[in-house]
Amino acid sequence: MRLTFAARRLLGRIRISGRPGGAGRWAGPVVILAIVCGCEDASAPPPHSAAELEAAKAQLRDHARLRTFEAGLPFGEEWVARVPDDGELRALYARQLAGWGLFRELHAQADRILSEDEDDPWGLYVRALAYLAEREYSAASEPSLGAWAASPRPEFLAAHIESIRARGAEHLLAFLGTLDSATLAAPEILAMRAEIASQARYELGDPTRADSSMASYAELRDRWPDHIDGYLRPAENLFRANRAEEALHLVERALARTPGSGDARSLHWRILAGSSLPAEQRRPAVEASMAEFVNAAPETARGLYAMAEAYRRLGDGVKAAELETRVVERAPHSLRATLIYQNEYLEAGDTMVRLYREEGHDSPAFRAQLKVVRDAVDRYLDRPIYANKYRARAYSILFEALNSMDPVPAEPLAEAVCGFATYERAYPVNAFGIGAAAMADHTPYAREAAEIARSGLQTVVDAVSMDRHLFRTEGEFEEQLRFQLSQVYDAMGWGYFKAGRAEDGRHVLERALALEGRNREARYHIGQVYEHFAMQEREPGEADVAARWLDRAEDHYIAGLANARRGENPNQAAIEALCERREGGRAGIEEYLATLGQRDRLRRRERILEARVEATGTYEPFQLARLDGSLVDSAELEGKIAVLHFWGTWCGPCVVEMPEYQKFDLRYRDDPHVRVLSISNDASRDVVEEYLQRNNFDFEVLVDDGYVQRAGVAGWPTTWFVDRAGYIRFVQRGSTMKLDEEFTWRVEALHEASDGRP
């Protein structure tokens, strides 16, 4: 009954804002237009002529093409109030709502159109826009395809292509191959072709696709110079590739055509704040652009929020807060207000993570911050949140804080896990795996925790499948799917065991390990189950059976020790306790553990050396600048073993392993046969220099100029180990707990393979 009470408390805190039902209709009551506008007025709309209506539709199309959604939204509101029964007009107004990301209001517009005709292509198009704004891409596929089949308009097709982006570049390119030349030449489809080429550049590992993408954007600008996507999308790609000057040129060309576009201005401010301008010139440049925007566009919550974000990037929290206050006063129930409400708990959560990294789990500052996070999340959850999907991250951070408390508060943790599992869809394994396992550990609701985990299996499959296009091979996709499912089965099995269903728990945990043998938590949990079975063998003649259970537990703990990751490994304490239990004391434990450590090193080294790549190519040549501006040419690496480490200060796993990387760099700094280079993907040299100085690091850093994109590096950190002939022989993707040791093994292996050379 206590969980039912907790669940009721949880539901009582949630203000239902509605979710699309199974048939695509809204399941809950929604107040839509009263929030954004007042367009369903009871008074008679003013008269209009057919010519005026067509002119209004043309103007709404212009607003979409120029991305002037700040002006387009109120203009569309006015016309929908005057002509409420024109589906095309509502759809063009909906495009303005999509520019604001207002998926609730988009669903309401779709409902209104489809209430008259459930197959109306404009209504289906708006439904697709709603799902796309909500990032429910697979749900957008059917209505967008239906709209295009009923009326082959390019905007309908563009929505459908966006909905199937997750199916991968090969699927998208094949789909484009089915379209006729006239359709492919439409501006909306030309923009999508450019996006697909950029996507294919990474997924297919073909750098020439980047040129194809830029060529398509150039064609879009030449043929439709007022189609602003032809400027902003390539500018975004250039800026991400650290080609800020080229990006700035494109955005300024766009602003000459659309000075009142919040999208163009936001990108302009981002580039200026992170550009090569001297630091003292960045704020004046941003504020001059802001003044132009204020003169060109009506004041809206969207525009105020964008300016507040720009001030935060400039480090002026006071000015940002002033603008955010105006947003909340203007529209307290709006999407932008919700994003502002998030800031408090997100900042509290960031501080919690920083204190953990810097001071550790037991520091008073970290312990105090846990309550700060809890209070900030509670305040957020009591606010008028735009939509329930914006609760997911709050519950995630709340769970992290509660799970770190000592003691863990059982009832609040159960509520947090329930909320986490209810709303988390971006990376649901955290809720249905880690969250459910913690609930089984720290609350009396182990059975319910197991059911939460079981209910999330399909959700996890769907989430990983949505990202299928991000994996280079089917094998990598399968590996990630097995890894995540293993975590969920682990939580389910542990919940069953803690609820008194030991045999059920055993079978489910064995399934978790069959999916992923490196799951150290599952190793620990099944070891605990085997120790439990050993305790059940109480009769004198059953001593051998009990010993066999303990042997099996010990084997799992040892295997769990071999799977080193960051964070405390429960198998370490478990094997020490088991050793002490079996030997009647701690004598000899240290020697025994030392042998386990050596076995772990041998296993890891064997696994790493087995991953040597034999059939591979050379890497993309480069000329990259150091932080002081001097150049390093990849030709300097000829005849040497090279280690190229791709990282960024924005990358959490990169930052965590940097002390180990510093040790590794020092190891080979004076070796004439080895060259260790790091390539930073940060947008600003200032950020890197400040980071190095703050942490007393002095390893060599090269500045990315788009090389990362050209070379096909798609994840951080990534490290290449290159032999003397210039061939990549080892690749480390992601961080590693023992970087210095494991990187050294790779370098020494390349030394040994150098035909007797030193």
The pLDDT tens digits of the residues spanning 238-293 come to 988 888 889 999 999 999 999 999 999 999 999 998 877 888 899 999 999 999 99
DSSP category for residue 618: B
Contact (CB, 8 A) for 67 and 99: yes
Alpha carbon separation from 397 to 166, 417, 451, 522, 651 (Å, rounded): 27, 11, 22, 24, 19
**pLDDT of the residue at 520:** 92
Question: Which of the pair, 118 or 562, is modelled with greater confidence?
Answer: 118
Name every residue whose Cβ is closer than 8 Å to that of residue 318 and which is 6 or more positions away in sequence: none
| Residues paired with 733 in a beta bridge | 718
Q: How high is the mean pLDDT of the chain?
A: 87
pTM attached to this predicted model: 0.74
Confidence of residue 43 (pLDDT cuts 50, 70, 90): low
Contact (CB, 8 A) for 28 and 19: yes
Amino acid letter at 632?
A: V
User: Is pLDDT at 406 greater than 70 in this prediction?
Assistant: yes
Q: Following CA atoms 232, 238, 240, 242 in sequence, which dihedral angle do they give, to the nearest 10 degrees?
A: -140
Name every residue whose Cβ is closer than 8 Å to that of residue 532 and which is 6 or more positions away in sequence: 497, 502
**Rounded mean pLDDT of 110-126?**
96
**Rounded mean pLDDT of 395-415?**
96
Q: Note the pLDDT tens digit of each residue in 708-719.
A: 888 888 778 999
User: Is pLDDT at 16 greater than 80 in this prediction?
Assistant: no
**Rounded mean pLDDT of 124-134?**
97
**pLDDT of the residue at 618:** 79
Domain boundaries, the chain: 53-151, 228-331, 337-555+563-576, 623-752
Question: Which of the pair, 36 or 133, is modelled with greater confidence?
Answer: 133
Instruction: Please give the backbone phi and psi of residue 719, each rounded to the nearest 5 degrees, phi first.
Output: -130, 130
Question: Which of the pair, 13 or 405, is modelled with greater confidence?
Answer: 405
Q: Note the pLDDT tens digit of each residue in 146-174.
A: 999 999 999 999 999 999 988 888 889 99
Q: What are the contacts of 438-442 at 24+ separation with CB within 8 A?
A: 438/399, 438/403, 438/408, 438/413, 439/413, 439/414, 439/495, 440/491, 440/494, 440/495, 440/498, 440/499, 441/408, 441/494, 441/498, 442/403, 442/408, 442/410, 442/413
User: Is pLDDT at 3 greater than 50 in this prediction?
Assistant: no
User: Is pLDDT at 22 greater than 70 in this prediction?
Assistant: no
The CATH H-level superfamily of 53-151 is: Tetratricopeptide repeat domain (1.25.40.10)
Tell me if residue 26 falls in helix, strand or coil: strand
Q: What are the contacts of 177-186 at 24+ separation with CB within 8 A?
A: 183/152, 183/154, 183/157, 186/154, 186/157
| Total Cβ atoms within 10 A of residue 27 | 12
Question: Which of the pair, 536 or 414, is modelled with greater confidence?
Answer: 414
**pLDDT of the residue at 472:** 60
User: Is pLDDT at 403 greater than 60 in this prediction?
Assistant: yes
User: Is pLDDT at 12 greater than 60 in this prediction?
Assistant: no
Length of the chain: 758
Q: Note the pLDDT tens digit of each residue in 562-582.
A: 665 556 789 888 988 888 877
CATH 1.25.40.10 fits 337-555+563-576, yes or no: yes
Confidence of residue 96 (pLDDT cuts 50, 70, 90): very high
| Placement of tokens 């932008």 in the chain | 336
Measured distance CA(472)–CA(450) in Å, rounded: 33
CATH code of the domain occupying 623-752: 3.40.30.10
Name every residue whose Cβ is closer than 8 Å to that of residue 106 and which is 6 or more positions away in sequence: 94, 97, 98, 126, 127, 129, 130, 133
Contact (CB, 8 A) for 25 and 14: no
With both helix axes pointing from N to C terminus, report the angle between 301-313 and 335-359 in degrees, rounded to the nearest 10.
20
Q: Note the pLDDT tens digit of each residue in 458-486.
A: 999 988 887 776 666 677 788 889 999 99
Contact (CB, 8 A) for 157 and 143: no
**Rounded mean pLDDT of 436-446?**
97
Name every residue whose Cβ is closer than 8 Å to that of residue 744 and which is 6 or more positions away in sequence: 664, 667
User: Is pLDDT at 737 greater than 80 in this prediction?
Assistant: no
Confidence of residue 357 (pLDDT cuts 50, 70, 90): confident
**pLDDT of the residue at 702:** 94
**pLDDT of the residue at 616:** 62
Q: Tokens for 539?
A: 């009769």
Please state which of the ranges 337-351, 623-637, 645-659 shows the lowest mean pLDDT.
Answer: 645-659
User: Is pLDDT at 355 greater than 90 in this prediction?
Assistant: yes
Question: Which of the pair, 121 or 710, is modelled with greater confidence?
Answer: 121
With both helix axes pointing from N to C terminus, report the angle between 121-133 and 103-114 in degrees, rounded to the nearest 10.
160
Q: Note the pLDDT tens digit of each residue in 370-395.
A: 999 999 999 999 999 999 999 999 99
Helix (H) or strand (E) holding 647: strand 641-647
Q: Note the pLDDT tens digit of each residue in 289-342.
A: 999 999 999 999 999 999 999 999 998 999 999 999 999 999 999 999 999 999
**pLDDT of the residue at 566:** 55
Do 53-151 and 337-555+563-576 share a fold?
A: yes
CATH code of the domain occupying 228-331: 1.25.40.10
Confidence of residue 2 (pLDDT cuts 50, 70, 90): very low
